Amino acid sequence: MKRKLNGLSQRYVTALQKHLKQGPCASLQPAAGLGRRAVALGLETLELARMHEGAITLLKLSSRKDGEIKRAEKFFAEALIPMMETHRAARQSKMDLHRLNELLHRRTRELAAANRQLQRGVIRRKSVEAALKKSGEHYTRLLKDSLQLQEGLRQLTHQLLASQEEARKEISLELQNEIAQTLLGINVQLLSLKQEARINTMGLKNEIASAQRLAIKSAQSVRRVAREFRNA
């Protein structure tokens, strides 16, 4: 690297000397070429300025007229242009990189926020799904219990109707027996009346009264059983 710098310094001295000899109309292209070479070697502006000062000292320009010094300054300024452009491009690239980094950081934060929101949404969705599943199981159990209760009520109703029907049958049989017994008693009383009528009038009255009581009792029994049927 040092050898390359020495070579570039010698070329700078030679090019500057030739530029000054050519006069005010000399081309500045050699200076631009030296500047691009300095950029390629990675030199900084200060290092190129030192190289220029060394060339001025070596060529003893400080003792010459102002015209040559001004042309030397233009030569140096032309050599600086590629370096300045490179620095400008580097600064622009740095600024662009900084903006890209800021954009990347902002997008990263936005992505992180969106990811957190998505995770919260997933958690809420799982919670809702779990609640719906639990609710579905709960209603399934309620429906099963309801069906079992309905079946129990149906069986109970059937048993109740069967019990009522059995009770009606018992009451009907009881009524038939009671009425049959009462009618049989009335029939016996009537036979007795028939015989008493031939013998004793007072005894006939008593028998008639007894038959009436049996008839009244029979009528009461019929009404009682009828009420029981209505209330059953």
- In angstroms, the Cα distances linking 210 to 100, 185, 218, 221 are 127, 10, 12, 17
Higher pLDDT, 86 or 228: 86
pLDDT of residue 100: 56
pTM of the model: 0.40
What is the percent of the chain with per-residue pLDDT over 70, rounded to a whole number? 74
**Which of 193-197, 199-203, 207-211 holds the top average pLDDT?**
207-211
Angle separating helix axes 29-41 and 2-22, nearest 10 degrees: 170
Q: What are the DSSP calls for 148-177, one per residue?
A: HHHHHHHHHHHHHHHHHHHHHHHHHHHHHH
How large is the average pLDDT for residues 59-70? 74
Higher pLDDT, 186 or 53: 53
How many whole angstroms separate alpha carbon 61 and alpha carbon 65? Answer: 8
Among 84, 79, 85, residue whose Cα is nearest residue 31 = 79
pLDDT (tens digit per residue) in 116-128: 888 888 898 888 8
How large is the average pLDDT for residues 124-143? 81
Higher pLDDT, 100 or 5: 5
Domain ranges across the chain? 2-100, 167-231
Q: Are 31 and 76 in contact (CB under 8 A)?
A: yes
Q: Which amino acid is at 96?
A: D
How large is the average pLDDT for residues 89-106? 64
Which structure tokens are listed for 70?
Answer: 């001004």
